[in-house]
Amino acid sequence: MNSIKPYLTLLFLVATYSAYSQYTEVINSNRPGVSQSAFAVGPGVIQFEAGPYILKEEHTPLRYDVSGFGIDFAARYGLLLEELEINLQGTYQNDTKTYNSSSIPFEDKRSNFKNFTLGAKYMVYDPYRKAGEDKPNIYSWKANQKFKWKSLIPAVAVYAGANYDTKNNPYVAPDVEGFSPKVAIITQNNFNGGWVFVMNLVKDRIGSDYSDFQYILTLTHSFNPKWVIFGEAQGIKSDFYADNLFRFGGAYLWSKDFQLDTALTFNTKDTPSVFSVNFGASYRLDFHRDKEVDNGNSAKEEGKRQSRNKKNKKDVDFKDDGTL
């Protein structure tokens, strides 16, 4: 056991250093949940996240059921600043809604975007920037894993975007079409032991008669650098649709730029009941470059120093031969 402690300490040091900036050495995906992380992908990073799913819904009182498939997708780009991210998010679904209220079932085949949103996320507060002031204990792994009350202070980000809904979309409320705003407040706590808690408070399709409010609570836990499990609760409240959805799943880090994931989604009511299974992947193109730190050792600075030294030497020579 003592032989592996130095390696565990090194892993802790690397993990602590990585938390200070938005950019991470390995991919940081929002999948397979639906919440957004408070952290951006980092400047120069282009990231794609997508996953197909199958869906089954059954509305007992109204006697209809829905069977189909769809795909969730997102494209994320770290723009200029460490804290800023531009992203495009959406869900496309194709299904068959079968009405069983009469002796002869009637089928309605449907397809459209359930959501299609372009937005920007900006981190306004990052408590982990000052975490470097807390020096890790290189002699005790247990001390490094001890709970710290300051970890209850979350990172905070804000999000603003614009939805686009086509006319007569079967997945949105009647009379909702065109552009509508979407805003969110995002918090994230990174705890010791590989635990991360994310909260999203979302106001969607603002200005329409069927604007909805959502909360999303996501808890993830990494067993090791490759495997992560998660649980998520999502509440939706509007005059058009209300629900409480639950998700459980996991992700596997195939490489530093590629992740695979899967999840189950379900609820606990029958108006309608919801059950879904998805599989997905995330991949990033990493063009990130760390900013160069001018520590005075560059060739330019060395040239300036040599020039000053030559000038000072000439001044001394003039004084020595009395020609001033």
| Bridge partners, 3 (sequence order) | none
Both tokens of 288, joined, read 């990130």
| Distance (Å, whole) CA 42 – CA 24 | 8
Say if CB 205 and CB 175 are below 8 A apart.
no
Say if CB 288 and CB 45 are below 8 A apart.
yes
The predicted pLDDT at position 292 comes to 52
The predicted pLDDT at position 136 comes to 59
pLDDT at 323 exceeding the cut of 80: no
Q: Give the pLDDT confidence of 216-272 residue by residue, as tens digits.
A: 999 999 989 899 999 999 999 998 899 999 999 999 999 999 999 999 999 999 999
Could you identify the residue written with the tokens 């918090």?
187
Over the range 101-138, which residues count as b (16 or more CB within 10 Å of their CB) and which as e?
eeeeeeeeeeebbebbbbbebebeebbbeebeeeebee
Both tokens of 100, joined, read 């069983």
Give percent above pLDDT 70 in the chain: 77
- Give me the chain's average pLDDT, please: 85
pLDDT tier for residue 311 given thresholds of 50, 70 and 90:
low
Query: From the CA atom positions of the chain, what is the Rg in Å?
Result: 27
What pTM, to 2 d.p., does this model score?
0.81
The predicted pLDDT at position 297 comes to 45
Who wins on pLDDT, 138 or 15? 138
The predicted pLDDT at position 279 comes to 97
Strand segments (E) across 211-288:
212-222, 227-237, 243-255, 258-266, 273-286
pLDDT tier for residue 209 given thresholds of 50, 70 and 90:
confident
Helix (H) or strand (E) holding 89: strand 84-99
The predicted pLDDT at position 128 comes to 81
Q: Give the pLDDT confidence of 101-150 residue by residue, as tens digits.
A: 888 899 999 999 999 999 999 999 999 876 654 555 555 566 666 666 67
Identity at 112, one-letter amino acid code: N
Both tokens of 222, joined, read 């990494």
The predicted pLDDT at position 152 comes to 87
Say if CB 22 and CB 41 are below 8 A apart.
yes
Nearest to 241, CA basis, from 217, 269, 221: 269
Q: Give the pLDDT confidence of 141-196 residue by residue, as tens digits.
A: 666 666 666 778 999 999 999 999 999 999 999 888 999 999 999 999 999 889 99
Residues 25-46 have a mean pLDDT of 95
| Bridge partners, 52 (sequence order) | 71
Nearest to 122, CA basis, from 152, 154, 160, 151: 160
Say if CB 77 and CB 45 are below 8 A apart.
yes
pLDDT tier for residue 19 given thresholds of 50, 70 and 90:
very low
pLDDT at 295 exceeding the cut of 90: no
Strand segments (E) across 126-211:
155-165, 178-191, 195-204
| Distance (Å, whole) CA 57 – CA 275 | 6
pLDDT tier for residue 7 given thresholds of 50, 70 and 90:
very low
